[in-house]
Amino acid sequence: MERTTQTESVLKEWNEVKTFKVDITLDPLTAHSQLEVYSRKKMVSSKNEGDYDSKYPYVLSENKFSPGQTYWEVVVQSSWKHTWYVGVATTDAVKHKAVVPLNAGNGFWILSYKKGNGYCVSADPPTPLSGIKNLETLGVFLDCDRQKLSFYDADSEVHLYSFADVSSNSNTFFAVFSPGLDRRPLTIK
């Protein structure tokens, strides 16, 4: 009988996840007015440093995701960005123009970073994640069939967190990106 170690199991999972990589582009038409999308729709940054009218400035992917598996990577460079968040939202959630908390109850599943506070997932209440240091490239794996969203440190090939019960009435999702309140960009790899 062949035994599989936990490390081998994680490596196998990581190698499977990477086979679902897709080319993601940002939809400038969905960008908050204070965000700028550029570089062939692969980068987003804030137009101005500091606070503005929305606590949750984001842009969506042009891509829609429904049954199946999808993986993408985002260069977040936490070592020099002040804030950012990345995740998915349901088509129902993004139809509303009202500012709502970005949590699963409102159709958003997010991993965020704020300098000084660290990493957090958008559970209700928000849940801090420990043990993550200077995340540079975030891997995002959406499995619509299993209703699961997972985040990875793509550089070190380490699983960070998974949401279960990621679902919506339409079972269709968009990727969500926010560079936060500084001019340093998020870049889709």
CATH no. for 6-24+62-188:
2.60.120.920
User: What would the two tokens of residue 140 be?
Assistant: 């995002």
What is the pLDDT at residue 1? 43
141-158 burial code (b ≥16 CB/10 A, e <16): bbbbeeebbbbbbbeeee
Instruction: Compute the distance between CA of residue 133 and CA of residue 153 in angstroms, rounded to an integer.
Output: 10
**Does the reported pTM lie above 0.85?**
yes
d(C-alpha 159, C-alpha 57), whole Å? 27
The DSSP 8-state label assigned to residue 99 in this structure reads -
Which ranges constitute the DSSP H helices of 54-122? 91-95
Rounded to whole angstroms, the Cα distance separating 61 from 189 reads 13
Residues 6+ apart with CB under 8 A from 139: 17, 18, 71, 72, 73, 151, 152, 153, 154
The residues spanned by each domain of the chain are 6-24+62-188
CA distance 44 to 77: 13
Instruction: Kindly state the DSSP code that residue 61 receives in the 8-state scheme.
Output: E
pLDDT of residue 9: 57
Tokens of 181: 């309140």
Contacts of 131 (CB under 8 A, 6+ apart): none
pLDDT at site 63:
94
Reduced 3-state DSSP string for 119-140: EEECCCCCEEECCCCCCCEEEE
How do the pLDDT tens digits run along the chain, 189 residues long?
A: 444 444 555 566 778 899 999 999 999 999 988 899 999 999 999 987 665 555 668 999 999 999 899 999 999 998 888 889 999 999 888 776 556 778 888 899 999 999 889 999 998 788 999 989 889 999 999 999 999 999 999 999 999 999 998 988 888 999 999 998 878 999 999
Q: What is the predicted pLDDT for the residue at 183?
A: 85
For 29, phi and psi rounded to 5 degrees? -70, -20
